[in-house]
Amino acid sequence: MTAGQSIKSGIVPETDKKQRLDAALAGFLDDLSRERIKNLITGGNLLIDGTTCTDPASKKCAGKTFALTVPAPIEGPAQAQNIPLDVVFEDDHLIVVNKPAGLVVHPAAGHADGTLVNALLHHCKGQLSGIGGVTRPGIVHRIDKDTSGLMVAAKTDKAHQGLTALFAAHDIERRYLAICNGRPNPPSATIEGNIGRSNTDRKKMAVVGDDKGKTAITHYTTKEPLNGATLVECMLETGRTHQVRVHMSHIGYSLIGDPLYGTRRKSLLSGRKDIRFCRQALHAAILGFVHPITGRKLLFNCNFPPDMQELFSKLRV
């Protein structure tokens, strides 16, 4: 195996035997897009029962074993940029920041620079863990571009490894404040449902069957009923892509302003001309963990940013 490449293997799902091979694998491998998988197949990177398959449209592979070779990504090093940071905590091992909405976490397609990583490289003078690679130095976890709130990044490899272990063991306390449409019923509950790539829209995640995606558990609690909406606190037991947004939408109470998972039903706020909130109303408010080097228990809490505070104030009954 070439350095940096990976092999993803398993059984081609039999849920729909009329489904194209690339679509079936995309539903199973939620970290790769269908288009990416299609290109890998046509490039000769897929084995079906040990034999190379180059036909992404094949419908004869359900139930067979597959091994998909994913080449190492071609990356360029992120550059330091003088972007202001709201630093909540910092020592020689790690840094906790309050990320503003609109700031992408790390360079990726469409966002070559101007990211949190670029800002961290400048602030930390290049002293960040290298485990995440040249485009993601120090990054242990992410929050969405248009979600605000607390994030921790590693300045040393040892701290990175320790934080990664805490996340893997679900020993990180993460609580989000969200403003959702309507009144969740029941007011407090646990949402359990595997999350994977949507079969109908590859840009979205969705609650999928128990044999697909990854386990996802969200505990939500009503904090305050609002006018046509509710302030809820969501505690994450797992950390899947778009987890809070997907789970709340799944039970019928999508987040206000969410452009991807917003409800199709007419919002109770549609008549409020004084409210213009153009991002998901989601804020990573609480982050707690045991320092992986010092053993000290750390707990951080940050208030709403101005735009979400204004929304909350306007919606109070």
Catalytic residue set: 144
**Max Cα–Cα distance, the chain, nearest Å:** 64
Rounded-to-10 torsion of CA 161, 237, 32, 128: -30
Q: For the packed helices 34-42 and 21-28, what is the interaxial angle rounded to 10 degrees?
A: 130
Distance CA 44, CA 49 (A): 14
φ, ψ at 66 (rounded to 5°)? -135, 155
Q: Which residues of 162-180 are buried (b: 16+ CB within 10 A; e: fewer)?
A: bbbebbeeeebebbbbbbb
